[in-house]
Amino acid sequence: MATMLAAEDGLGDKLEAARRELLAEYRADHDYPWIVGFSGGKDSTLVAQLVFEMLLDLPPSERKRQVHIVANDTLVEAPLIARHLDAMLERMRGVVPGLRLPITVTKTTPKQDQTFWVNLIGRGYPSPSRSFRWCTDRMKIQPTSHYIRSIVDERGQAILLLGVRRQESATRAMSVARYSNGERLNAHNTLAGCLVFRPIVEFTTDEVWQLLLQRRPPWGGSHRQLVTLYRNAQGGECPLVLDKDDAPSCGTSSSRFGCWTCTVVVKDHSMEGFIESGSSHLEPLIDFRDRLAAFRADPGMRMARRRSGNVSHLADGSLIPGPFTFGARQQILSELLVVQDQVGEPLISEAEIVEIKRIWAEDAGRAATAHTRAPGK
C-alpha cells in the first residue's frame, strides 16, 4: 500500500510526514493528554484513525499518554447522523480494552436546561437566525469546552487534535493562517491551557477520501457507511465547534449536515439529499423546520417584551419582537410531538418536556405577579 500511495502525487510522503509528527508529539517530554475532536465526519475520522494506528504501532509499555476521543451531540442532530456517530463511538469503546489502548471515548451534550427545545419551547427563544444564533454556544461550544477545561484543570494543559485542513475552504485557510505560528502546536485562542495540533492540515479533500477508502478503521467495520452518508447528504459535516470564530461552518448555504432544526439556512440541502436517497420518513422534519422559521417571522407569535422585561426598537423606531408567546410555545410542542410520532424517531426527551413545563410555570408566576403589581390593580 505504501508504494501505491507514494506514486499518487506524493500522498504517501504526506501520510508518512503526518505519522512522524503524531509520533514525535506523542513521545514529547511531557504527559499532557490528547483530546481528539471527533464529529464523525471524514476529517476527524481520519485523525482518529491515524491516532489509533500510531498507538497500535507502539509497544503497550510506551502507550503512556492518555487520549480522549470527544464528540458533541446537540441532541437535534439529523437522525441518520446521530445514529452513525453513536455507532462509531460504540465501536471505538468496544475495541479499546482488548487492544490495550489508553483511550477514553466521550460524547458531550448540552446541559438539561440549555437544550434546543428547552430554550425554544420553554423560554420562547425564536428559532435561530444569522442575527441571533443562540444555539451554537449553548449546544456546541459550552459542553465540549467544559470537558476540555476539566482536563486542563486536572493536568495543567491539554493538546487538542483537530481535523482542520487548509484547503477545506477560504475561511478555514484564513483561520489556519491566523492561528498558526509555524510550530506544531498553537495556543487555542479562547481555551487557556489548550494547545491545538492539526495533523492533516495540508491534506486535500481527495486525499482524505483516498486514505479512508484504502484503509479499514482499527475499531472494526468499514468506512462505507460514512461514504454513503456524504453521498446521500450531498455535502459535509458541521465539525466540532469550540470557538465562535468557527461558528460560520454551521448554518451556511452549503450542504452541510448537522442540526435538523437549523433555521439559519434557507434550505436544508443535506436533509433533502437524505430524503431523495430513500429516507422519505424524514420529510416531516423539513416541513417542521420550515414552520419554525415561519413562526419566527410571524409578529403574532412573538411577545413585545424580551425575557428581561425590556422592549427593543430598531433605529427607525420599529419594534424588535421578543420571545415566542405562551400560545406559540404550546403549539410548537404539540406539533413537535406529532412529528415525532410521524417519523418514528426520538426528537425530544421526557426530561426536556418536564424542564419546559417547569419554565412555563415560572414564567406564568412572574406574569401573574407583574399583573397584580400593575398601576390600578
pLDDT tens per residue across all 377 residues of the chain: 333 344 455 899 999 999 999 999 999 999 999 999 999 999 999 999 999 999 999 999 999 999 999 999 999 999 999 999 999 999 999 999 999 999 999 999 999 999 999 999 999 999 999 988 999 999 999 999 999 999 999 999 999 999 999 866 444 444 454 455 567 899 998 999 999 999 999 999 999 999 999 999 999 999 999 999 998 886 555 666 666 655 544 544 444 568 999 999 888 888 999 999 999 999 999 999 999 999 999 999 999 877 766 777 667 767 778 999 999 999 999 999 999 999 999 999 999 999 999 999 999 888 777 656 655 54
Q: Is the dihedral of CA 352, 356, 362, 365 positive or negative?
A: negative
Domain 2-119+134-230+238-244 fold: Rossmann fold (3.40.50)
Judge contact between 71 and 107, C-beta under 8 A: yes
The backbone region for 125, taken as left when phi is positive above 0, alpha when psi lies in -120 to 50, beta otherwise, is beta
Q: What angle do CA 285, 291, 295 make, to 5 degrees?
A: 150
> Is residue 177 exposed (0-12), middle (13-18) or buried (19+ Cβ within 10 Å)?
exposed
Judge contact between 234 and 85, C-beta under 8 A: no
**Which pLDDT score, from 0 to 100, does residue 6 have?**
40
Cα gap 304→172, rounded to integer Å: 39
Cβ-count burial 308-329 (b if 16+ within 10 Å, e if not): eeeeeeeeeeeeebbbbbeebb
**Which pLDDT score, from 0 to 100, does residue 232 have?**
87
**Which pLDDT score, from 0 to 100, does residue 99 have?**
97
**Which pLDDT score, from 0 to 100, does residue 251 have?**
46
**Which pLDDT score, from 0 to 100, does residue 170 have?**
43
Cα gap 16→20, rounded to integer Å: 6
Q: How many angstroms separate the Cα of 125 from the Cα of each of 117, 260, 274, 320, 359? A: 9, 17, 28, 13, 12
Beta strands in 143-206 (DSSP E): 158-161, 185-187, 194-197
**Which pLDDT score, from 0 to 100, does residue 282 have?**
96
Task: Count the neighbouring beta carbons within 10 Å of the beta carbon of residue 193.
Answer: 16
Q: Among 106, 107, 116, which residue's Cα sits nearest to residue 139?
A: 116
**Which pLDDT score, from 0 to 100, does residue 252 have?**
46
Judge contact between 249 and 113, C-beta under 8 A: no
Grid cell locating 129: 437566525
- Report phi then psi at 196, rounded to 5: -105, 135
Q: Among 62, 152, 71, 75, which residue's Cα sits nearest to residue 110?
A: 75
Q: Give 192's contacts (C-beta < 8 A, 6+ positions apart).
A: 152
Grid cell locating 220: 472494526
> Is residue 122 exposed (0-12), middle (13-18) or buried (19+ Cβ within 10 Å)?
buried
Cβ-count burial 27-52 (b if 16+ within 10 Å, e if not): eeeeebbbbbbbbbbbbbbbbbbbbb
Cα gap 329→309, rounded to integer Å: 18
